């Protein structure tokens, strides 16, 4: 059970002294962007003399040398955000064995929303203290915040606190009280050389293009702007500023990315379908003039490389993942339902789908023209859009109410059927109890007859024939 909380700190565990170095294991099972936003945490703990071991998803493993240099990096070979399976349990047990070889003295659960994997790892690392947030078990938006996080020490924090501030709170709880800087990644000569060769083969030069992540797949379609507006924005940047693009993304985003390139007619090279080649991605990003796209791991990579960042962002996790770049523009829509965790109760994600093109274009123009600082542009909803959302909410609410009523009717029918079957079962048991003595009597009679028949069959055949004739 967690210790009591007072004044923003957990009571009962004294933070280690500055000269007390520990072996610390850190859980980071979420996305590449989350991992990059924790770079200041890794750097500060390592600078304080702690030895680190971090586990990440396979696609983030190749980024570990740049994001958490010096840390032991392990791969989590199951999806922590899917229900547990036997195969997943075996993967977690294997990960726990590898963590045990590191011999951690503390386990840090870095995500606000932990998963079944973190709970199992904490249980398998018997005797190792745990440190985590006062969040909830994934998905928090469905399950609600947990009243009793299962960590030895709990850090109280609001869900909408930026992820960089969450990382600072972890460091502060361990006695690293210096103010953390924004994430910073340093690309080496090998990454630059790899990227330079890739660009040269495609007729591009460093700093003459913007990196774009504008495509989508079925798994993230609700978190992206609409295709025709992306195409219009990029065409405007190309026509007015002469901007060239390199589009990056995953293999399942290729179709949408190519469609945006076709509709926009801009000069663009595809770097899609190579998510594991982080050295190349890091190098190409570092040599870009800036980033344009939605909220992705590549956006946070560009920000950590201190590039200008333009992002179209929805309200699902607002404002936890705002880009931490020296120069950025984040465009969003003013909706009352922000913070849903992308469990949208409406027919579409208005918070990002309906961001006006004009608001995005003006913000991108400002950044391309050298605009300084970090600005959040919140577009106001028109009266027509607000009315549409209100009607949609009513329609979806009625639909869900009808579904709940139908489900309740099914549950009531099932309950009635179960009660009826239970009554029949009880009646059968009572009848069985009444007929049981007769049944035992019949069984004994059957056994006696069987015994008599066996004796009769054992008599000599001649005796049986004579006996029959004598009658």
Domain segments of the chain as ranges: 5-173, 189-381
pLDDT tens digits for range 273-305: 655 688 999 999 999 999 999 999 999 999 999
Q: Is the pLDDT of residue 453 over 70?
A: yes
The token duo for 424 is 């029949």
Sheet holding 328-333, edge to edge: 268-272, 244-249, 209-213, 291-294, 309-312, 328-333, 374-379
DSSP structural state of residue 327: S
pLDDT of 456:
79
pLDDT of 19:
55
pLDDT of 32:
94
pTM of the complete model: 0.82
3-state DSSP assignment of residue 217: coil
3-state DSSP assignment of residue 224: coil
- Dist CA 39 CA 379 (whole Å): 31
Q: Are 5-173 and 189-381 in the same CATH fold?
A: yes
Please list the alpha-helical segments (H only) found in 21-115: 32-37, 39-47, 58-61, 64-67, 86-102
DSSP structural state of residue 181: P
Output the CA angle 20-21-25, nearest 5 degrees.
135
Residue 422: how many CA atoms within 13 Å on its side-chain side? 6
Q: Is the pLDDT of residue 136 over 50?
A: yes
- Dist CA 332 CA 353 (whole Å): 10
> What CA–CA distances, in Å, run from 443 to 69, 289, 432?
80, 92, 15
pLDDT of 295:
96
More confident residue, 321 or 443: 321
pLDDT tens digits for range 151-172: 999 999 999 999 999 999 999 9
What is the CATH topology of the domain spanning 189-381? Rossmann fold (3.40.50)
Residue spans of beta strands (DSSP E) within 136-238: 136-137, 153-155, 209-213
pLDDT of 146:
56
Q: Is the pLDDT of residue 143 over 70?
A: no
Q: Is the pLDDT of residue 369 over 90?
A: yes
Q: How far is CA 362 from the centre of its chain?
A: 32
Mean predicted confidence (pLDDT) in 1-27: 55
Q: Is the pLDDT of residue 372 over 60?
A: yes
Question: Counting runs of H as helices and runs of E as strands, what totals does the chain give?
Answer: 17, 17
Mean predicted confidence (pLDDT) in 7-17: 39
pLDDT of 144:
57
Its CATH class, for the domain covering 5-173, is: alpha beta
């Amino acid at each position: 059970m967690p210790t009591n909380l007072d004044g923003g700190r957990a009571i009962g565990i004294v933070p280690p002294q500055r000269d007390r170095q520990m072996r610390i294991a850190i859980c980071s099972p979420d996305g590449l962007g989350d991992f990059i936003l924790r770079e200041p945490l890794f750097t500060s703990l390592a600078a304080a003399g702690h030895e680190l071991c971090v586990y990440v998803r396979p696609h983030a493993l190749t980024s570990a040398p740049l994001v958490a240099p010096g840390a032991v990096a392990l791969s989590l070979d199951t999806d922590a955000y899917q229900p547990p399976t036997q195969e997943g349990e075996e993967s977690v047990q294997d990960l726990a064995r590898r963590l045990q070889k590191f011999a951690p003295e503390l386990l840090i659960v870095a995500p606000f929303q932990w998963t079944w994997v973190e709970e199992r790892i904490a249980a398998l690392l018997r005797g190792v203290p745990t440190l985590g947030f006062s969040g909830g078990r994934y998905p928090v938006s469905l399950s609600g915040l947990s009243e009793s996080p299962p960590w030895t020490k709990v850090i109280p924090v609001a869900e909408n606190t930026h992820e960089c501030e969450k990382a600072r709170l972890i460091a502060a709880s361990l006695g690293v009280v210096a103010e953390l800087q924004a994430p910073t990644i340093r690309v080496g000569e090998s990454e630059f050389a790899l990227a330079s060769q890739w660009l040269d083969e495609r007729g591009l030069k460093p700093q003459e293009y913007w990196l774009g992540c504008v495509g989508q797949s079925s798994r993230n379609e609700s978190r992206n702007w609409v295709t025709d507006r992306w195409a219009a924005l990029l065409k405007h940047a190309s026509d007015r500023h002469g901007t060239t693009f390199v589009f990056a993304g995953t293999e399942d985003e290729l179709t949408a990315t190519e469609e945006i390139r076709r509709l926009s007619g801009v000069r663009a090279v595809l770097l899609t379908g190579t998510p594991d080649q982080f050295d190349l991605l890091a190098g190409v990003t570092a040599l870009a003039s800036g980033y344009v796209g939605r909220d992705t791991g590549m956006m946070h990579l560009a920000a950590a490389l201190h590039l200008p960042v333009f992002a179209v962002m929805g309200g699902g996790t607002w404002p936890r993942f705002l880009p931490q770049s020296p120069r950025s523009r984040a465009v969003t829509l003013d909706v009352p339902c922000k913070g849903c965790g992308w469990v949208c109760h409406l027919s579409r994600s208005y918070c990002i789908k309906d961001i006006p093109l004009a608001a995005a274009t003006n913000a991108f123009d400002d950044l391309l023209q050298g605009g300084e600082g970090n600005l959040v542009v919140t577009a106001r909803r028109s009266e027509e859009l607000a009315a549409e959302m209100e009607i949609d909410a009513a329609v979806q609410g009625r639909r869900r109410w009808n579904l709940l009523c139908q489900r309740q009717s099914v549950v009531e029918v099932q309950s009635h059927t179960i009660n009826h079957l239970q009554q029949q079962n009880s009646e059968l048991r009572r009848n069985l109890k009444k007929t049981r003595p007769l049944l035992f009597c019949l069984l004994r009679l059957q056994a006696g007859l069987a015994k008599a028949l066996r004796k009769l069959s054992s008599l000599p055949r001649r005796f049986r024939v004579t006996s029959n004739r004598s009658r």
